[in-house]
């Protein structure tokens, strides 16, 4: 099969498309013919050996896929050859075939396009878990989303609206804020031009927000925490800016607020029933058009490295997807 391969931890520029054997099936696994693979920030880290998982090279990056089951491993039940599925794979998705534990599969809703399905689970799964289980976001509360036109950020904007919150989108350009507004954000703050804390305080009449969704980190984290109100919840989702911030602990005391970690990957393993319930709701919203995942660009296996470069250069809007059917 053909695959985008990381032959050493040389980063995006060292990736090559090459022939490689289709992975052997272990008991409990199924072989999936990959239709499409979502592009995510961790893909840029894993190929540089900077992610929490360090697969032995050669390996393919690619953390989430949609595809068709083509072979069942020993002991697999409840899955059939021909099933259309979605899977979180962490790596291995930028390839024509992948072996996935059957227990990790979700059935793809029949009406969902395979490219949309490929880019759905990581972003919406993370944002849903963050806002529902970790923040307990309530209708009528105010939600501030940083990196609001990025993958998880844009999903948080849409889910925040569905849960009845007032959503303030924050991003680094007018184009990105327009994308967030299109997804339902009520207001926008361009933090490349305006101080985040003061702008958010102005928008909330000095009260501050109830919940912050923060996949960016760096110096924005403290500004957003300072713009959090009494009993607020600041969700630590990721560090796309590259810097893990240090937080002045006195701010949490003064605001009676909480800084709350979000680790969707472990939630899926530790609380599979709650995760499935989240996806039942998400698929229902997608089915009725209440959420509309934005795939801004598709790539082929040959151009998949360009997708990773674009994401790393902060140029992606919504989701980028590699379409294996395209070549």
Ligand X SMILES: NC(=O)c1ccc[n+]([C@@H]2O[C@H](COP(=O)([O-])OP(=O)(O)OC[C@H]3O[C@@H](n4cnc5c(N)ncnc54)[C@H](OP(=O)(O)O)[C@@H]3O)[C@@H](O)[C@H]2O)c1
Q: Site residues (CB under 6 A) for ligand X? A: 40-42, 122, 126, 147, 149-153, 171-172, 176, 215-216, 237-242, 262-265, 311, 314, 316
Nearer to ligand X (CB atom), residue 73 or residue 299? 299
Output the smallest distance, CB 22 to ligand X, in A. 27
Output the smallest distance, CB 31 to ligand X, in A. 26
Place of tokens 């409990």: 28
Residues 128 and 296: beta-carbon distance below 8 Å = no
Nearer to ligand X (CB atom), residue 177 or residue 324? 177
Burial 26-65 (b: 16+ CB within 10 A, else e): eebbbbbbbbbbbbbbbbbbbbeeebeeebeeebbbbbbb
Output the smallest distance, CB 83 to ligand X, in A. 25
DSSP secondary structure letters along 258-310: EEEE--HHHHHHH-HHHHHHHHHHHHHHHHHTSS---EEEEE-STTHHHHHHH
Nearer to ligand X (CB atom), residue 67 or residue 215? 215
Nearer to ligand X (CB atom), residue 44 or residue 204? 44
Alpha carbon 190 to chain centroid distance? 22
Structural tokens at position 238 = 């990721």
Residue 269's CB: how many other CB atoms inside 10 A? 11
Output the smallest distance, CB 145 to ligand X, in A. 10
Nearer to ligand X (CB atom), residue 315 or residue 327? 315
The DSSP call for residue 184 is: T
Structural tokens at position 203 = 């928008």
Output the smallest distance, CB 175 to ligand X, in A. 10
């Amino acid at each position: 099969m053909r695959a985008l391969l990381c032959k050493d931890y040389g980063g995006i520029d060292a990736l090559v498309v090459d022939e490689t054997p289709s992975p052997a099936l272990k008991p409990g696994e199924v072989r999936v013919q990959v239709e499409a693979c979502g592009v995510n920030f961790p893909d840029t880290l894993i190929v540089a050996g900077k992610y929490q998982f360090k697969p032995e090279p050669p390996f393919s990056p690619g953390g989430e896929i949609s595809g068709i089951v083509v072979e069942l491993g020993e002991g697999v039940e409840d899955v059939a050859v021909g099933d259309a599925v979605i899977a979180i794979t962490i790596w291995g998705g930028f390839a024509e075939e992948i072996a996935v534990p059957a227990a990790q599969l979700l059935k793809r809703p029949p009406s969902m396009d395979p490219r949309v399905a490929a880019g759905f689970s990581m972003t919406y799964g993370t944002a849903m878990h963050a806002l529902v289980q970790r923040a307990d976001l309530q209708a009528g509360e105010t939600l501030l989303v940083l990196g609001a036109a990025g993958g998880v950020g844009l999903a948080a904007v849409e889910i925040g609206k569905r849960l009845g919150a007032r959503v303030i989108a924050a991003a680094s350009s007018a184009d990105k804020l327009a994308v967030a507004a299109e997804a339902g954000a009520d207001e926008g703050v361009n933090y490349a031009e305006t101080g985040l804390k003061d702008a958010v305080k102005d928008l909330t009449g000095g009260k501050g927000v109830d919940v912050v969704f923060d996949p960016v980190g760096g110096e924005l984290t403290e500004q957003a925490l300072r713009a959090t109100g009494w009993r607020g919840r600041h969700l630590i989702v990721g560090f796309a800016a590259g810097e893990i911030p240090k937080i002045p602990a006195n701010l949490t005391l003064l605001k009676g607020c909480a800084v709350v970690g979000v680790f969707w990957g472990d939630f899926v393993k530790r609380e599979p029933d709650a995760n499935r319930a989240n996806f039942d709701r998400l698929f229902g919203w997608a089915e009725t058009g209440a959420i509309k995942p934005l795939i801004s660009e598709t790539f082929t296996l040959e151009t998949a490295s360009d997708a990773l470069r674009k994401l790393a250069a902060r140029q992606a809007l919504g989701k980028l997807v590699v379409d294996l059917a395209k070549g």
